[in-house]
Structure 1
Amino acid sequence: MIARKALSPVELAEACIRRIEEVNPAINAMVALDLEGLRKASRVAEDDVMSGKPLGALHGLPIGIKDMVDVKGLPTTFGSLIFKNNIAAADDASVTALRAAGGIPMGKTNNPEWSAGANTVNRVYGATANPHDLTRSSAGSSGGSAAALASGMVPLATGSDLGGSLRNPAAFCGVVGFRPSFGVVPGGTRAAALFPLGTSGPMARSVADAGLLLSVQAQPDNRDPYTAVVGGKTAWNPEHFARLPRKDLSSLRIGFTEDYGYAPTEKIIRNHFASVIKELAPLFGMAEEAHPDCTGADRIFSVLRAVMFAGTHAKYLDEQPELVGDNVRENVLEGRRYSAEDVGQALVLHGTYQQAWQRFFETTDFILAPAVTISPRDWHELYPTEIDGKPTKSYYHWLGMAYASTLAGHPSITIPCGRDANGMPFGLQIIGRRHDDLGVLAVAAELERVIAGTSGLALQGPDIAALRKAQPLSEAPGFLTTG
């Protein structure tokens, strides 16, 4: 629309600003803004359109940036009191790439402290509510990005994902979150660069928009050891993500699972997923209940996650313990309890786990599964301590539906697929073969079309009029103390 002069970048910027002013107080998704910078950049973007200059893939599009990444002149707090006053001196390389493609990083989106946990609450900016129900969580850790997208504050947003931090908030808020194969989106400043668990990725309101943002994020970068760059190019063509091919669903073999055989999935989620599969399974050439062998998933994820946190965050707990939140503290202490033998065994088990996934995908093209094990809950609850009356093992145990594919390194996307019995958005997760990122996006786009035309599965957005009238979330009890 911008390229064909049907939409002015200035009009788009002002619309985003109005929406933020109207509904952000009720949600608290955008936590640091550069509105003057947005207005200035949008005027330049409009001048470029009118003068006929070449336009980048993201020309004139405002973008929300998760508060784990530097944007020059804005705070980068990581949701940590220790970095409450930290102002970025320069853009992160990923932000530089967005600007080069014409995107306008307009502000920071909220996340839990150091992205630890899947409820977006911290003691710097407070909680982020779910736009569909302000009493409920937006999940996390990219909850600010998901909530901002769902409520129309931004057209695109960035996120990151270790145990589902792109996919879980997308599911809770009714938007799209894509976790790419490791190395597709380079992380040159990632602290544990050789540790293949966490990655950045795109969030949007549609699969095509997520692919558009990915086409800019997925650039060659030798600083990431998992981004294979030969002759200045990667094995994937980033431009293809912006032009998704059509996919014949009837030619595909899928496995579907409600729990991978181990995830503590709530009955309400199992029931809704069953209704989804009843609608979608006939579209495929073959659809059967099946999943890879996930033996040891909880143990592998627990050990590797904890030792990574101990390596990167122990100094904060030792030097300023009063400024460290519960989730980070628990992960560091857990990491210190593991021995070298525990770590070695987890690494070996991890290798066996990944091989099992490769064998499974020799005869299966894609997996369909719920994105999250539970329906959105009260945002005051830091994490679920029980699911259907059974206690959880840790603050991250309820993320099992997401970290199953994280551990295998497979691309995974969450798309909105109706509402559960609580009236909250349900996220359908689609997982493909390792490095078949384009295929996952293409299948997701096909299912998105089907869902849009299926009664009971098409998701309507949040009630914007109600959000405009709601009291500021900052006035709610527990706003700054949870977490």
Structure 2
Amino acid sequence: MTDPADLTACEARALIGRRALSPVELARACIERVRSLDPAVNAVVAMDEEAVMAEARASEARQMSSEPLGAVEGLPFGVKDMIDVTGLPTTFGSLIYKDNIARRDDPIVSAMRRGGAVVLGKTNNPEFSLGANTRNAVYGATGNPHDPAKSAAGSSGGSAAALACGMAPLCTGSDTGGSLRNPAAFCGVVGYRPSPGLVPGNGRGIGMFHLSTSGPMARSVDDTALMLSVMARPDRNDPLTPVLDGGTIWNAAELARPAPTDAAQWRVAFTADFGFALTEGIIRRAFTGRIDYLRSHLGRLEESHPDCSDADRIFAVLRGVAMLGSHLDGVRRTPESYGPNVHANIDEGLSFSVEDVTRALTAQTSYYRRWQDFFGTTDFILSPAVTISPRDWHELYPTEIDGQRTESYYHWLSLAYAVTLAGHPAITLPVGRDEKGMPFGLQIIGRRNEDAKLLSFAREIEAICAADPAMAFPRADIAALAKAPPISGMPGFKGFE
């Protein structure tokens, strides 16, 4: 019999709907999985087992009544330690907030609870989610479930690792320079960056900037779509969420159940580097293998990409502005309380002039329009999700890629922020492993606001790849992780040494 912890969200929800699986049974299985595997990877950093079981029993009571069940009824979900869950710590991975206990739920958590979901616990992230290596001085490092000595990426690394271990069928994440997509690629799960405003949030210091967004993570496209349909909602507090007569321009039902499509009917472009990214040779070779495999299944497939001129500079300046808005005052008050990535952002942000910011904003507008022109004749773009194969988590960030030096701690995330700058939705799909045996993530990018169409196409690609064992979902070795030594015993587990 399948362990309930290994069920997909859609499988579990269907069983709950038929009263063939109790939410209590599912919650117990997920808690047991955390107890068994979390020492090896350190993905779930806060959990109140009594509260989890109380929520599961309440869900079971609804299941056994005539009350309509929610879309995600009885499904445990992990919550990134950047957003609040009543009664649990929200530390942001920062020593400044190590004793901070949330007094109310974040709107995303409230939406999931209204849909019947059960909060499992908080998942790890880097300090203030800055950087794509999940390490901090509060909870320590998160290891990759496929090799705990390697990075789970970030910043939603705890969520990705928890999913790959079967600790929860759903998890929240957030994304500026790929923080949903990068860890999904490293850990072999699905991460979805939605169109701006689709998932409203209150975590952006500068609300009109679309660089950052929350989104869903799961173990399949259908699971991701289900969670997205619950996270998406009208909210006038987010200036990027259009609210019309109490609703939005997105249809939640279409997001939850994207219409079937024929992958061969679409015009698809592919690129290994968008013309500027330092993409590692091992990733280029893995990507070429996927394109060769998909070629016979797709209609028009050609190597091409939008003009991404000056992407590195635009992202550096706009990210610097956003970080100054969030952290400048704190760093000035107590500089010793912040880690190296925060200081790097502040120093870089302060180095830019008003003229630099003006030029970056103007250049981003041109950049966006070039992407719209490109998508006038293209339906989807395929690329690798991340520029490198997972490395040792002791390396705070890659300083070189195939002998070429990176320009900053986030420069290696360029395949992700090329998309962020244009504000298009993108999904990371796990498609087998690279030649080092680590998961490989394919990034699929769609038109802005056409999220349901992107999910539908991604589901078709997922099905095509599942037919070949070499391209299918890469599963972590649960038995080996259960016997692995605790990651907390590794040198340098906490902090940045």
**Cα RMSD, aligned residues only:** 0.8
Match of 1:358 among 372, 377, 392: 372
**Residue 388 (1) aligns with residue 402 (2):** yes
Q: Deviations over 1:185-217 (max 9, x none)?
A: 001342210111100000000000000000110
User: Matches of 2:225 and 2:413 in 1, distance apart?
Assistant: 25
Q: Distance in 2 between matches of 1:215 and 1:246?
A: 17
Separation of aligned partners in 2, 1:412 and 1:171 = 12
Preserved CA contact (<8 Å) 2:439 2:474: no
1:81 paired to 2:95: yes
* Whole-Å separation in 1 of the counterparts to 2:274 and 2:458: 20
- TM-superposition CA deviations, 1:227-278 (whole Å, max 9, x none): 0001001011112211121111111000000000000000000001000000
| SS of aligned partner of 2:62 | helix
The 2-side partners of 1:349 and 1:460 are apart by 39
Length, aligned pairs only: 483
Alignment of 1:149 with 2:153, yes or no, is no
Displacement after TM superposition at 1:461 (Å) = 0.8
Tell me, yes or no, if structure 1 residue 243 matches structure 2 residue 263. no
Give 1:459's aligned residue. Answer: 473
The match for 1:429 is 443
2: CA distance, partners of 1:325 / 1:247: 47
TM-score by length of 2: 0.96
> Which residue in the other structure is 2:351 paired with?
337
The match for 1:117 is 131
* Contact 2:430–2:474 under 8 Å retained in 1: no
User: 2:35 pairs with 3, 14, 21, which one?
Assistant: 21
Q: What displacement does 1:459 show?
A: 2.9
Q: Is the 8 A contact 1:120 1:128 kept in 2?
A: yes
Q: 1:305 aligns with which of 306, 312, 319?
A: 319
Letter of the 2:277 partner, please give it: A
The answer to whether the 8 Å contact 1:310/1:333 transfers is no
Residues 9, 61 of structure 1: 8 Å contact kept: yes
Report the AA paired with residue 191 of structure 1. Answer: G
Using the TM superposition, give the Cα deviation of residue 460 of structure 1 relative to its aligned residue in structure 2, in angstroms: 3.2
Q: Distance in 1 between matches of 2:385 and 2:274?
A: 12
Task: Tell me the distance in 1 between the aligned counterparts of 2:61 and 2:74.
Answer: 11
Q: Is the 8 A contact 1:110 1:125 kept in 2?
A: yes
- Aligned with 2:182 (options 168, 177, 195): 168
Partner Cα distance (1:68, 1:14) in 2: 25
Please tell me whether residue 408 in structure 1 is matched to residue 429 in structure 2.
no
- Give me the whole-angstrom Cα distance separating, in 2, the residues matched to 1:314 and 1:452: 47
Query: In the alignment, which residue of structure 1 is the partner of 2:11?
Result: none
Query: How far 1:44 sits from its partner (Å)?
Result: 1.4
Deviation >6 Å, runs of 4+: none
Q: Which amino acid aligns with 1:197?
A: L
Letter of the structure 2 residue corresponding to residue 71 of structure 1: V
1:146-205 CA distance string (max 9 Å, x none): 000000000100000000000000000000000000000001342210111100000000
Residues 51-76 of structure 1, C-alpha deviation per residue, up to 9 Å, x if partnerless? 22100001111110000000000000
1:222-301 alignment runs, 5 A limit: 222-301=236-315
The percent identity for this pair of structures is: 59
Task: Give the distance between the partners of 1:244 and 1:364, measured in 2 at CA.
Answer: 20
**TM-score computed with the length of structure 1 as normaliser:** 0.99
> For residues 99 and 295 of structure 2, what CA distance do their matches in structure 1 show?
51
> Which residue of structure 2 lines up, in the alignment, with residue 207 of structure 1?
221
The whole-number CA distance in structure 2 between the counterparts of 1:10 and 1:370 is 39
Q: CA deviation at 1:142?
A: 0.2
Contact between 2:78 and 2:172, CA under 8 Å: does it hold in 1?
yes
Question: Is the partner of 1:2 in helix, strand or coil?
Answer: helix
In structure 1, what is the Cα distance between the partners aligned to 2:44 and 2:345?
27
Question: What are structure 2's unaligned runs of at least 5 residues?
Answer: 1-14
